[in-house]
Amino acid sequence: MVWLSRRSILKGAAAFGSATLLSRHSFADASLPVLRAAPASAQLAPAGYPATPVWAYSREAAGTVPGSEIRVLAGESVRYQLVNDLPQPTAVHWHGIRIENAMDGAAPLTQATVPPGDTFDYDFVAPDPGTYWYHSHNRSTEQVARGLAGPLIVEDREPWLGEKGAATRELVLVLDDWLLDSDAGIIEDRWDDLHAASHGGRMGNTVTVNSVAYPELDIQPGERVRLRIINMATDRIMTLSLPHLSARLIALDGHPVRPRGAETLVLGPAQRADVAIDGRRDGEPSTGLMLDPGNDEWVEIASFIHSGDTVLAHNPDVRPLPAWGTLAAPDLSDPQRETLMMEGGAMRGMREARFAGKTMGFRELAANGMVWAFNGAANQMDEPMFRAALGRTVRMELTNRSMFPHAIHLHGHHFTILSQRGAANMEGDVRDTVLIGADETVEIAFVADNPGVWMIHCHMLSHQQSGMMAWFEVA
């Protein structure tokens, strides 16, 4: 793996012109604030490299990556008119929000894609507090990789910040993984790379925090800070560590957990973790956010600069976040049982699977861009994987028979992890995306209490595109 390092100086860098907007609108219906998706430019690579042409969401004139932060109180509405100034159709998915079906943005299942030059009105309630994000849900392997993603923070109505044992401040840390060429341009000819898709997915070479390579983040000595960490990478699992900061995990995928040690954290694509850290005291060396790129050679992807006055010694116990109180508990006495079998990929493959209404062998599947299957079917969109009656508890066994981990995401619902071998997730945790290692089985349960048609897919977007996508219906 080649990392664009902070020390490399680019020689003979080509200059990039500023991106051009591709269409013009008449804003006849200006009742909703605008969220624009448009080409923009961002300094992703370290200083000395050119800026990178990206696609970005923004409420202001100039697009940014990550997209503009959206922040509401639990129970409030999120209301935006998406304006598509991209050269492709698009749609916005509000990841992890237990949303009304028509607003889910899961094109083409819950809405038609929005053509270039067109608009779509999103207007929905965000019921549960926590750390979420929004991202493109059309051609997402390309569109998310180009930058179409941003944080969506739903604040609790009960106070936590500033309370005894809580943090005094919070920092949203968006992690991303960009595949850049030596001029810092996004490498564009690999969206359909089946080799990458049949392995761990399309890996980048530049990991950024809030779209900056190796940022320095200021905290005060001894200060307790809430980090809202979001993995927006298309495919990369972020194995993270926060050494010497007394890191305690306080929420996963927005859902509070009883505070527990979090020196190491594993976040699959789309997963989030809220962590409380305590700044080091005077005289102690500074430290950073470390990432293991997969070879056990930890790289510091952001450093914490300790400056200012020392904050008074605090309570070593972290105050738990207020409980949600909005999620129905699964009734395990007589659940509907479902299974999800993951097969395919390099080294194991699959002999055959159904695709586009016919059973195909491995070669024909690959010729159609399919290298993965759920329950023997690749990207089955013509009928649901299962149907559940409204209010019924679904107990699902997810088995990974492949040689690669997968990050399985259910739309519209959060689920409880009943059992899992391995350490990436803990039994009893409630999540919207679960990372399942090779040969691992995870059991989950959820109340199917949100009517509609909901996608279920791997959030390694290269896997989603190449077979790991399906949907279920709640009615």
Q: Which residues bind Cu ion (CB under 5 A)?
A: 406, 458, 460, 463
The one among 228, 236, 395, 457 contacting ligand C2O by CB under 6 A = 457
Smallest Cα–Cα separation from 137: which of 95, 188, 182, 179? 95
CA–CA distance, 200 with 411 (Å, rounded to integer) = 22
Q: In the set 137, 139, 146, 395, which binds ligand C2O (CB under 6 A)?
A: 137
Which of Cu ion, ligand C2O, none has residue 463 at its interface (CB below 5 to 8 Å by kind)?
Cu ion
Of 133, 136, 91, 135, the closest CA to residue 113 belongs to 91
Interacting partner of 396 out of Cu ion, ligand C2O, none (Cβ under 5 to 8 A depending on kind): none
Q: What are the backbone dihedrals phi and psi of residue 471, each rounded to the nearest 5 degrees, phi first?
A: -150, 160
Cβ neighbour number for residue 4 with a 10 Å cutoff = 23
Residue 40 interacts with, from Cu ion, ligand C2O, none (CB under 5-8 Å by kind) = none
Angle at 419 between CA 413 and CA 421, to 5 degrees: 120
Whether residue 116 is preceded by a cis peptide bond, meaning omega within 30 degrees of 0, is no
* CB closer to ligand C2O, 209 vs 469: 469
CB nearer to Cu ion: give 230 or 460. Answer: 460
How far apart CA 350 and CA 154 sit, in angstroms, is 41
The yes or no reply on residue 98 touching ligand C2O (CB under 6 A) is: no
3-state secondary structure at position 362: helix
- Would you state the structure tokens that stand for residue 188, as one six-digit string? 């564009």
Binding residues among 242-281 for ligand C2O as defined by CB under 6 A: 270
CB of 394: closest distance to Cu ion in angstroms?
Answer: 21
Q: Between 242 and 407, whose beta carbon lies closer to ligand C2O? A: 407
Residue 457 binds which entry of ligand C2O, Cu ion, none, with Cβ cut-offs from 5 to 8 Å by kind?
A: ligand C2O
93 binds, among ligand C2O, Cu ion, none (CB under 5 to 8 A by kind): ligand C2O
Closest CB 416 distance from ligand C2O, rounded Å: 19
- Contact between 230 and 238 under an 8 Å Cβ cutoff? The reply is no
Name beta bridge partners: 256: 251
| Per-residue x/- track, 24-43, ligand C2O (CB under 6 A) | --------------------
Distance from C-alpha of 375 to C-alpha of 469, rounded to nearest angstrom: 11
Chain residues binding ligand C2O by CB under 6 A are 93, 95, 106, 135, 137, 270, 409, 411, 455, 457, 459
